[in-house]
Amino acid sequence: MRFRPAAVYRNLGLVIGVFFIFYLGKSIIGYDDGKHISHPKNPKHLYITVDKNRIDHRFDKLSPKRILVWNSIFGSHVDNKVMLECPGLSDRCIIDSNRSRLGLVDAVIIHAPNIDEGLPPAEMRKPSQRYVFMTMEVPDNIPKISIPKHYFNWSMSHLHSSDVLFKYGGFWLTSKEAELRGFKIGDYFIPEKTLRKSKSGIFGLVSNCATSSKREWALKKLSTYMNVTIGGKCAWDEKMKEICPKGQKCDSIFAEYPFFLAAENTVCEDYVTEKYWERNLFPSIPIVLRRSAYSNVNLPRQSVIAFDDFGSPKEMAEHLMSLERNFTAYAEYFKWRNGGWTLAPWNTAGFRNGYCKLCEKLWDEEQPESTIEDIYAWFQAESRCENGDWATEWIQGGSS
């Protein structure tokens, strides 16, 4: 038989071609682009349970911190909606008032003004939990009950020396500070015509007629030198008691006077309430009692007038009346509104307050173990509350 090389090469090429076509087809059919999901025969293996035992210590770093508010807040109860006010933290903590969860939480808040509702059972306390003494009131407004030494880990109050700051109002910043942080500058501008008043003197709505600060004494004496109009429960004129019906803010009444009363019932460190914070943007000048109580508020320059800026009621009245007569001098107290100052965005990082600040603190892994030996003694000392002696001295023309 004659050997033909050409036939051999032809047959070999045919075999290789068939093999290549077969391999190409298999590759196309079996191609996986990463989007294809194979389904096992037994689908129950697709579901797994992840619990604390499975991921050990990592669970504590992944799950939200839980906060229990043990007692009421003047009869009301806190729920997790408060965390919606915490940018960047809203899903990092869970707050509720369900006492059955006592053994599961990271922090237990005791609202001091309602502390007489009772404390959590001692046998249920865990070493890892933080017990928090919370109040926005002054020491005189807090019931005294028997509390073991070193019971509380943290304080949470309006005092800037607290472990967790829980103050009324926000944080004032100069525009320069705000711009460096990338904050938007608030618009607090007041048209000049709004500063021209139809009435004279100071206006105040007062419901506490006998204060520890003796505010009423100072006002009464001041009224012998200038007009002081008091409305509400403590009005000197019976007709003024109903000038602002309950539930109404009556902003327009305040705006009629060049000055309004923002003085607190009590003079204590850092105790600055809604009397200032809810009215500080009125087109009138706030009148406060003791300037020292506002030292940590970082008030805009020349934005309030304090009783103790002056040595006597007469001196104060003369200054206020001179401002009424001199519009240019009066308008100086509103210059800060022309873009010089602004409030930090509410509860933003670096300016957290209240529950947001507590949540942030719970996530700080560098927290040392600490307790407060005697919470009542600590709070009293830090508050540095004054009695009415300052008012007596001021009325007599002395300084304190």
CA R_g for the chain: 34
Residue-averaged pLDDT of the chain:
87
Identify the DSSP state of 76. Answer: B
Beta bridge mates, 108: 68, 131
Helix, coil or strand: residue 8: helix
CA angle 227, 275, 224 (to 5 degrees): 20
> Of 109, 35, 23, 113, which is closest to residue 68 (Cα–Cα)?
109
Q: Which two tokens stand for residue 191?
A: 């048209």
Q: In which band, very low, low, confident or very high, does the pLDDT at 20 lie, cut at 50, 70 and 90?
A: low
Average pLDDT over residues 287-292: 94
Task: Return the H-helix or E-strand segment holding 246.
Answer: none
Q: In which band, very low, low, confident or very high, does the pLDDT at 397 lie, cut at 50, 70 and 90?
A: confident
Q: Percent of the chain at pLDDT above 70?
A: 84
Predicted confidence (pLDDT) per residue in 177-193, tens digit? 999 999 999 999 999 99
Q: In which band, very low, low, confident or very high, does the pLDDT at 366 lie, cut at 50, 70 and 90?
A: confident
> Of 125, 118, 166, 122, which is closest to residue 145 (Cα–Cα)?
118
Please name the residues in contact with 292: beta carbons below 8 A apart, sequence gap of 6 or more.
Answer: 308
Q: In terms of residues, how long is the chain?
A: 400
Pairing of strands 202-205, 259-261: parallel
Q: In which band, very low, low, confident or very high, does the pLDDT at 246 lie, cut at 50, 70 and 90?
A: confident
Beta bridge mates, 231: 205
Q: Give me the residue spans of the domains in the chain.
A: 53-167+354-383, 172-344
Amino acid residing at 198: S
> What is the per-residue pLDDT for 26?
55
Instruction: Decide: residue 21, CB within 10 A, 0-12 exposed, 13-18 middle, 19+ buried.
Output: exposed
Residue 255 · residue 194 · CB < 8 Å: yes
Average pLDDT over residues 323-329: 97
> What is the per-residue pLDDT for 344?
96
Query: Angle of helix 313-325 relative to helix 215-222, nearest 10 degrees?
Result: 60
Q: In which band, very low, low, confident or very high, does the pLDDT at 19 lie, cut at 50, 70 and 90?
A: low
> What is the per-residue pLDDT for 63?
87
What CATH number should be reported for the domain whose range is 172-344?
3.40.50.11660
> Of 268, 320, 303, 318, which is closest to residue 289 (Cα–Cα)?
268
> What is the per-residue pLDDT for 14?
60
CA–CA gap between residue 288 and residue 230 (Å, rounded):
15
Most confident of the ranges 7-21, 38-52, 57-71, 279-293: 279-293
> What is the per-residue pLDDT for 247?
82
φ, ψ dihedrals at 386, nearest 5°: -105, 150
Q: Which tops the pLDDT comparison, 22 or 397? A: 397
φ, ψ dihedrals at 178, nearest 5°: -65, -45
Handedness of CA 242, 245, 246, 249 (dihedral sign): negative
Predicted confidence (pLDDT) per residue in 34-89, tens digit? 444 343 444 333 333 444 444 445 445 668 999 999 999 999 999 999 999 999 99
**For tokens 């028997």, what's the residue?**
146
> What is the per-residue pLDDT for 7?
55
> What is the per-residue pLDDT for 191?
92
CA–CA gap between residue 1 and residue 8 (Å, rounded):
14
**For tokens 């229990």, what's the residue?**
68
